[in-house]
Amino acid sequence: MTTGVLWHTARMELEGSRVLVTGASRGIGAALAEELAAAGALVVLLGRDASALEGVAHRVDGVPLVADLADPAQVSGLVDRIEAQEGPIDVLVNNAAIDSAGEFVDLEQEQVEALYRVNLLTPVELCRQVLPGMLERGCGHIVNVSSLAAFSAFPGIAIYGSSKAGLTQFTAGLSADLRGRPVGTTIVELGPAATGMMDRVSSHQPTADSFARLHRLRLLAEVPLQSAARATVQAVRAGRRHVRLPRRAAVAAELAAAPRRTTEWLLTGISHQQKR
């Protein structure tokens, strides 16, 4: 098993669906775009690097759109503009992220604010923008790509880890809001993957040493991009709430989620929808 499941959400048919993937120019975003296209979806690719986006779009027969998700002005009304141009978004994949490695005291205010905006505020805002249409149409799915750093504290990545922890907790709360409705959520919690982001994060020696120790203890393993993308697409299709890779870290993720699971159990039977 590659996923942990608390309850199933709505299953999603990807054949003929329209999927928006942020941070789609490289890494896990590009792998997700390829896997989604192979499943029959029309993929809209969002990112800052126009040339790289064009390359991925050519491979997946998708639509490249350039936007800076750190700019609130560009994010404002973004879903409406995309849907007016391309049609309704059936699946939103919030994958774009900024990494940061180094001593927290050495970071500038602008660096901290940009990271929280791209990693947390913008995904939350895009969810807010896309949900009304999904609910009105009676179908949709939201994927938020988080990290195992959301529940493990490593030196050098305090703001990155906390931004992903916020995204994980937000997705759990959103899932509670949507329980019983025709829109599903999936949170993807990944360990180190073969991306440029991991190379940059590991450039800070305390962070690199921490990862190396967990690798030696066989508590971490590199996550192949295609495996992560394939597991995510399968989760969307099946309406599963979690993807956790590598598998050996899934137990720790389940333990970290235990308070949320307990609350969900205690609230069984309570309507999560506002009476109108």
Q: Residues 6 or more apart from 119 whose CB is under 8 A from it?
A: 97, 98, 160, 163, 164, 167
Q: Decide if 53 is inside a domain.
A: yes
Provide the residue-wise pLDDT of the chain in tens; the chain has 276 residues. 334 334 456 689 999 999 999 999 999 999 999 999 999 999 999 999 999 999 999 999 999 999 999 999 999 999 999 999 999 999 999 999 998 888 999 999 999 999 999 999 999 999 999 999 999 999 999 999 999 888 888 888 999 999 999 999 999 999 999 999 999 999 999 988 766 666 777 778 887 788 778 778 877 778 899 999 999 999 999 999 999 997 877 777 777 777 887 888 788 877 656 544
Q: Residue 195 sits in a domain of what CATH number?
A: 3.40.50.720
Q: Decide if 28 is inside a domain.
A: yes
d(CA 194, CA 28) in angstroms, rounded, equals: 9
Q: Which long-range contacts (CB under 8 A, 24 or more apart) does 127-130 make?
A: 127/92, 127/94, 127/174, 129/77, 129/78, 129/79, 129/80, 130/20, 130/79, 130/89, 130/92
Which pLDDT score, from 0 to 100, does residue 7 have? 47
Task: Please say whether the dihedral angle defined by the alpha carbons of residues 122, 128, 131 and 132, taken in this order, is positive or negative.
Answer: negative
d(CA 34, CA 57) in angstroms, rounded, equals: 9
Q: Decide if 46 is inside a domain.
A: yes
Which pLDDT score, from 0 to 100, does residue 88 have? 98
d(CA 237, CA 244) in angstroms, rounded, equals: 16
Which pLDDT score, from 0 to 100, does residue 143 have? 98
Q: Residues 6 or more apart from 132 whose CB is under 8 A from it?
A: none
Which pLDDT score, from 0 to 100, does residue 6 have? 40
d(CA 101, CA 270) in angstroms, rounded, equals: 42
d(CA 244, CA 249) in angstroms, rounded, equals: 7
Q: Decide if 50 is inside a domain.
A: yes
Of 198, 190, 147, nearest to 169 (Cα)? Answer: 147
Report the catalytic residues.
160
Of 124, 93, 91, 111, nearest to 27 (Cα)? Answer: 93
Cis before 132 (ω within 30): no
Q: Decide if 217 is inside a domain.
A: yes
Return the structure tokens found at 149: 């750093």
Q: In this structure, which amino acid lies at residue 42? A: L
Q: Decide if 253 is inside a domain.
A: yes
Q: Decide if 4 is inside a domain.
A: no
Q: Decide if 100 is inside a domain.
A: yes
d(CA 176, CA 140) in angstroms, rounded, equals: 15
Overall domain count for the chain: 1
Q: Which residues of 9-28 are buried (b: 16+ CB within 10 A; e: fewer)?
A: bbebebeebbbbbbbbbbbb
Q: Which domain holds residue 254?
A: 18-266
Cβ–Cβ under 8 Å, residues 206 and 156: yes
Q: What pTM, to 2 d.p., does this model score?
A: 0.89
Q: In this structure, which amino acid lies at residue 270? A: I
